[in-house]
Structure 1
């Protein structure tokens, strides 16, 4: 009986992880136009202001990249909590590492498939979002233990 309940919990965690990953892949790969030169803006996207035709324009791309990876890394930590452990340094390291590898994979796929542009800022902001997701997960497990 207990193993059946644990199996259902693990299944629901994996299904939720697949759902969150699918949302990210839809946003970063599937919902993009083809680019002739995906390396045209490698160093772009570092700020919230960009110059378009001589005008300053507000862009939220960097904030979106951070926000996108927060739930992903939190769900990864939740799904694999037994393998990762519960120390805050280990959680932050693992969540940052997983977000970095996932972000590099997405950027390489964008480069190879010519979907969007390859940007170093995206990798950085996704990694920051991954670490914040790990921090959110750590705070949640500590709050759950106090209840």
Structure 2
């Protein structure tokens, strides 16, 4: 009887714990919608329609909104992969210095490559969404400035993910993860700089063509 009760309690608590952080995040974000709806005095029967209509109008109108939305979407995917959908680990420090190569405990793994690639798009989207806030002088951006800002933000974000995994036993805290994530962020900064230079070159060429006419 005791074994049955223990199993029931374990299964029930596991079923509640696994979606806990995802549910908390959704509830937190939903309250912003609630506060906005209350401020605008939306009627209950039209609230879904008003939410969709308002979101779509701003999405079409604001380029900044579209950029931040894409960044938020990708960030949510990272959090779901690294924290929110993770199961409990008994010892989150048992692989502190592992994960550097393609083989772990004799098993082939691509986790190090995944950690590197995962933060390349994040870094690009971050700079794209908040280029003025992070890079100050947009017209005269230096290579070092872009790569440093991308590396710094990704390093902090990656550390917060690893620390959360350690604090709540959601995965393992690994120095290799932090390193590969940060390197991916740096590469994203390099790619963004190359795209920025190309865009600036095209803009200067177009200005020259307009001045000739």
TM-score, normalised with respect to structure 1:
0.89
- Counterpart-to-counterpart distance in 2, 1:31 and 1:62: 19
Residue 87 (structure 1) aligned with residue 142 (structure 2): yes
- Counterpart-to-counterpart distance in 1, 2:70 and 2:191: 17
SS of the aligned residue for 1:45 comes to coil
Residue 130 (structure 1) aligned with residue 185 (structure 2): yes
**Structure 2: any 5+ residue segments left out of the alignment?**
1-57, 203-213
TM-align CA RMSD: 1.6
Deviations 1:6-36 (A, max 9, x none): x701111111110010010011011211101
Runs of 4+ more than 4 Å apart: none
Instruction: Name the one with the larger helix percent.
Output: 2
For residue 62 of structure 1, the aligned residue among 97, 104, 112 is 112
Higher relative contact order, structure no. (Cα contacts within 8 Å, ≥ 6 residues apart):
1
**Structure 1: any 5+ residue segments left out of the alignment?**
none
For residue 100 of structure 1, the aligned residue among 139, 151, 155 is 155
Alignment of 1:20-39 (within 5 A): 20-39=74-93
Aligned partner of 2:70 in structure 1 is: 16
Structure 1 residue 112: Cα displacement: 0.8
TM-score, normalised with respect to structure 2:
0.62
* Structure whose alpha-carbon radius of gyration is higher: 2
Aligned length in residues: 139
For residue 123 of structure 2, the aligned residue among 54, 73, 97 is 73
SS of the aligned residue for 2:95 comes to coil
